[in-house]
Amino acid sequence: MAEVNTGDGGGHGKHDKKRAKKSSTRIDMTPMVDLAFLLLTFFVLTSTFSKSKVMEIPFPKDPKDLKVQQKVNNAITFLLTKDNKIFYYNGAFYLPGNKEGKPETTITEKDFSAKGIHELLLDRNKPTIDAIKKLEEQYKNKTIVADTFKVRALREQGRKAVPEKGIPAALTVLIKTDDQAVYKNVVDLIDEVKVCNIGIYAIVDMMPSEKKLIDEKVK
């Protein structure tokens, strides 16, 4: 609170001259300080601290036998190299004249255009996307709760194959780069993977035979 102190101006003696009264103002800052601390406490308790933006990139465990190629059901492998070139192939990798009698693997180039990687992933992951859309409709109609929706959606993204029922395994995306690939393309590819509801993906080392196919395409 503000207070005003006034003096009587003197003039008590017989010969003293009367002086004009002077007033002095004293401002009490206590209420303002209290208000400042209350506002500070309010903003600290109600504010949301910004979280660091970190991209989670899973890496597979090293196999026990490095000579044995790990088999992956329903997989698509992307090969990234210089000049923003991105190639892919489906399924396992087969060399010419392999023991399994499979056709040798060939690679196809793709980019980030509307008819490129995004369309490819949507088409390959269609069963999972359709299953998640059905779950979204159930959630909107309030036939399932949010926690059930999240659990079932994650289950669809990591679904295992059930051959007797004709249910395929969820799509697995493998990302491989050489020493000339652009880091931005890796990040953009992972973004596309997440947008297309693909739950299983990993960055793995490129095999020499895969590098050889790339070198034949990019000279």
Q: Is residue 169 part of a domain?
A: yes
pLDDT at 193: 93
- Contacting residues for 75 by C-beta, under 8 A, at least 6 apart: 90, 91, 92, 171, 172, 173, 174
Q: Is residue 69 part of a domain?
A: no
List, for the chain, all residue ranges whose pLDDT scores fall below the cut of 70: 1-24, 49-72, 162, 164-165
Q: Is residue 133 part of a domain?
A: yes
Contacts of 95-103 with CB under 8 Å at 24 or more apart are 95/209
Show the DSSP H helices in 6-88 as ranges: 30-46
SS3 label, residue 86: strand
Q: Which one, of 82, 78, 83, lies nearest residue 180 by Cα?
A: 82
pLDDT at 118: 94
Distance CA 101, CA 92 (A): 13
Distance CA 214, CA 219 (A): 9
Q: Is residue 102 part of a domain?
A: yes
User: At CA 119, angle to CA 157 and CA 111, rounded to 5?
Assistant: 115
Question: What is the tens place of the pLDDT at every residue in 46-91?
Answer: 877 666 666 666 555 665 554 555 566 789 999 999 999 999 999 8
Q: Is residue 31 part of a domain?
A: no
Of all residues in the chain, the percent with pLDDT exceeding 90 is: 37
Residue 190 sits in which domain range?
75-217
Q: Is residue 30 part of a domain?
A: no
Domain count of the fold of the chain: 1
Q: Is residue 120 part of a domain?
A: yes
Judge whether 19 and 11 are in contact, CB under 8 Å.
yes
Q: Is residue 11 part of a domain?
A: no
Q: Which one, of 143, 142, 203, lies nearest residue 172 by Cα?
A: 203
Prediction pTM value? 0.69
